[in-house]
Structure 1
Amino acid sequence: MAPTSTVQLGVRGRTKMSGEKVLLVLDEQLRGHDTFLTAILHLDQPVRADGLQVRILTFDDVTVLSPLQSTALPEEGEKEWSGTLLLPHGLRPPRIPNDLAAAVAEAGIDPDAWSGPEAAAVGLPRRSRHRPASCRADQPHCPVVGEEDVSAPVRLVSLDVGYTLGEPTGRTVTQRLVELSALPPREVKRITQRTLHVLSPGDDGALAGLCAELGIGAGDFPHDHLPAHFTLWPGAVEAVARIAQVVPVVTLSNVSHWDEAGSDIAALLAPHIQAHHPSWRLGFAKPDPRAVQAVADRHGVRPAEVLHVGDSLDYDVRGALAAGAQALWITRESPSRAVLGLLAEHPGRVTVVRGLAEAADHIHQAVTSPPNPGRSCTTS
């Protein structure tokens, strides 16, 4: 099931040592409606720490937050703590079996009106007693709290290729153009992303325009470029195969004809992907929303039903959101306030994970696994 909303919860509890690590044990268990994949903790006491990444572990009778980065939490004895838990993946609504849902509907019974014991008797979680946290004055963006924004189901996953699944071994055309142009490297890269990556190899007029924009002669373009070999990272094929078990997969990559000529991405990922969509064939490059929209059209789904996975905030995440799609960002960076603001602006549309294997696990779980009222250990 796809993420649905972004919320904040006021949480508190006591610290507990586990080996050499300090864990944060909640006073009140997060369960069912409050079972989440990832979270950011703004810690107020015993020390102040904003943007602390935590992994949520929910068991039968306790919920534990395990910090994913070093903290200044005291290691001596158990200490009281409190803070605000930001849930960028949103709430996962509880489910009851379809036959039971139909039966209670036919009988005119409203499951939302059930008491805690009545809900527990049919496997629904008790209602959460956690209060929504008010926006703190030092937070530039405040996520929406309250009604769930039910997102579209994921019917197609599009995967970025470069630095998401692997990397080229050798120089790219862009790197050669950076050497040839007197423009700042960042500006050269911006121009090539916008122009070179959508050029057809036979479009001499557009190629001359690109050279003029870069301030180099048309005859200086590196037509002799030998494309770098593309190498998939260990575990990439296995991760793609795992995703393909539950949802159709395609690739959507910003790449020039000259750089891709030496690699057959479709063959490298066969038989797990349905199609490979390089930008130079598609005619659009991310973050142009038409890139994701074109892929959605070709596969008969709405952009809102596409989940695009990539490593670039500016190209992959913003491009997907501009198209109305969902985004899964692979990064090991600590989330900045700007990133948290982006999550707040697009509730339930962006998921942040630390690696490709974790992305595959998230997609597999999101598509196939409703909340489990029994024993669980939900992490991300």
Structure 2
Amino acid sequence: MRAQFLDAYNTPYILRTVPLPTLNPTSRHDLLVKVEAASYCHTDAVLAAGQLPPFPLSFPHIGCHEFAGIVISTSPGSTTNLQPGDRVGIPGRAFYPCGKCFECVSGPTEEDPDADEPGYSVYCPHAGNHGISMPGGFAEYAVVDERQVAPLPEGMGTVDAAVLMCAGVTVYGALKRCKLKPGQRVGIVGCGGGLGHLGLQFAVSMGLRVVGIDNADGPLRLAREVVESKEAVRVVDARTEEAASVVAQIGEDGKKEQGEVGLDAVIILPESQKAFDYGMALLRNHARCVVVSFPEKGFHVSAWDLVFRDISVVGSLVASNKTLREMLQFADEHRVRARIKTYPLSKLNDLVVEYHKREGGKLVIDTTLVDEDY
């Protein structure tokens, strides 16, 4: 098969032909999948630059932790319901979870009813991660764990599905962590990026009133395009409009006290402190800030916001397999789709160049394309 390899940090990918990966004869959970689409994520860029110290790469390395494809074969003795020919989406996390740690055995709780059943957890500290600690989707074939994948809705293509395996499920999970009801207000900071423009669509379909915030022409243009004519959404250019002005324009009948008006929750997608501060300034008292990004130096959080305004700050990392399947059905029902540009496998380095232009949307390797299609 062909696969794209990184041989060192800050170097181009190199296309090589290597043997097909083989199923582990001791595992009942292996699937051999023919990769049809592999989406490029911000984490791929961070890892390739060596800027994520907790996850050092072992070279040569095959990246990508959000991909989709077709099941080719299953492990001997497998009890999976999946069959050769089934189309599946594959998130990067939780390949071979241990099944024994406190994460794996905990299961759903009152605090987290969306957690997977005991025996599997995306938070397992002993599990492998496609595209990070083990080979990912920038290849023609991959071995995956049947417990981590999700069958695709009949009308959803693998290119559309691939971007949902990280960007989609991550922002969907973050919206659920906001714990909002229809009619409440949510802000999405970084609304024109890969996660952000999907988040706008999910939030509107959930019945929420949405404020999207970004600070670059391309992402702002994309955000406005995906929510055009939707009255429940306002897209804000953070370069020209202060957070206080946005809050002042929200206006709610009978609410005039400082801290009473504002958003009920905000999701932080960029890695800048300025973006974090802007999002926090949009919140009313007793609201919630959901952090998805993880800048190398972290964020400074104002103790005033935590103590005197009772703002809660929580993190959100992808979501359970249960939520992944729910998200796919929701996206299919409400026609949530990413704005996508595709490349053949051989042109991955061209994709990376395009990514750094930061025009928004998602960039995807489509292995069914050949160079002549590009």
- Is TM (by shorter chain) over 0.5? no
Higher relative contact order (CA 8 A, sep 6+): 1
In terms of fraction of residues, the more helix-rich structure is 1
Q: Which has the larger radius of gyration?
A: 1
What TM-score results when the alignment is normalised by the length of structure 1? 0.32
